């Protein structure tokens, strides 16, 4: 396996493979193969996505490779239960998070304004309060969490080619 060819590094007093040493996705998956869209389901982890997509949990690293901006520890989407626990911890209750307005969005334009600006809309001739909708903490953070669910995956049909290419690159 190509990962076995990576050098070791020390992390928290343990010897682990240094996955920061390697190649860009473009070096491994040629552009002509493209990437597939995938939506992470509630409770999925990189290894379960790998199992579903590639019939093995051992390619979890391949799930993460095209999604480098998605930190598997801090950016992976929360489950519904984890999300609700987070809202309770942050706002005291689900109801409080659903009533806390963070900002206002224009209903037809891509414009957001602060709560203070909205509350003083009478002072601004450009702002008509009826054109804006309040965005609650719950709905905003739910949107953020949902956006994390949309990832890209290496097509299953090219996984063998990807693994062969990795072997060649690491042997080189």
pLDDT in tens, 58-109: 999 889 888 877 788 888 999 999 999 999 999 999 999 999 999 999 999 9
Specify the pTM: 0.75
Assign residue 136 a region: left if phi > 0, alpha if psi is -120 to 50, beta otherwise?
Answer: beta
CA triple 137-89-45, angle to 5 deg: 85
| Cα–Cα distance list, 154 to 32, 34, 72 (Å) | 12, 7, 17
What's the pLDDT score for residue 162? 82
> If residue 38 lies in a helix (H) or strand (E), which one and from where to where?
strand 36-39
What's the pLDDT score for residue 121? 72
What's the pLDDT score for residue 25? 64
Q: What is residue 78's DSSP assignment?
A: P
* Numbers of helices and strands, H then E, in the chain: 8, 7
How does the average pLDDT of the chain come out, rounded? 86
Q: How many CB atoms sit inside 10 A of residue 49's CB?
A: 21
Decide: 154 and 65 in contact? Cβ < 8 Å: yes
The two tokens of residue 20 are: 């920061």
The values of phi and psi at residue 153, to 5°, are: -130, 145
The values of phi and psi at residue 53, to 5°, are: -80, -35
């Amino acid at each position: 396996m190509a990962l076995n060819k990576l050098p070791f590094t020390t992390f928290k007093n343990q010897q682990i493979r240094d996955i920061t040493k390697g190649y860009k996705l473009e070096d491994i998956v040629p552009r002509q193969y493209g990437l597939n869209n995938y939506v992470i389901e509630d409770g999925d982890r990189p290894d379960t996505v790998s199992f579903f997509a590639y019939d093995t949990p051992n390619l979890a690293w391949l799930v993460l490779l095209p999604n480098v901006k998605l930190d598997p520890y801090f950016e992976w989407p929360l489950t519904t239960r984890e999300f609700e626990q987070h809202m309770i911890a942050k706002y005291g209750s689900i109801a409080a998070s659903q009533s806390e307005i963070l900002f206002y969005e224009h209903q037809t334009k891509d414009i957001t304004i602060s709560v203070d600006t909205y509350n003083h809309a009478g002072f601004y001739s450009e702002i008509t309060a009826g054109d804006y909708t309040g965005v609650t903490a719950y709905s905003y953070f739910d949107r953020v969490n949902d956006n994390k669910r949309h990832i890209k995956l290496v097509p299953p049909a090219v996984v063998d080619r990807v693994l062969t290419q990795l072997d060649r690159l690491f042997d080189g």
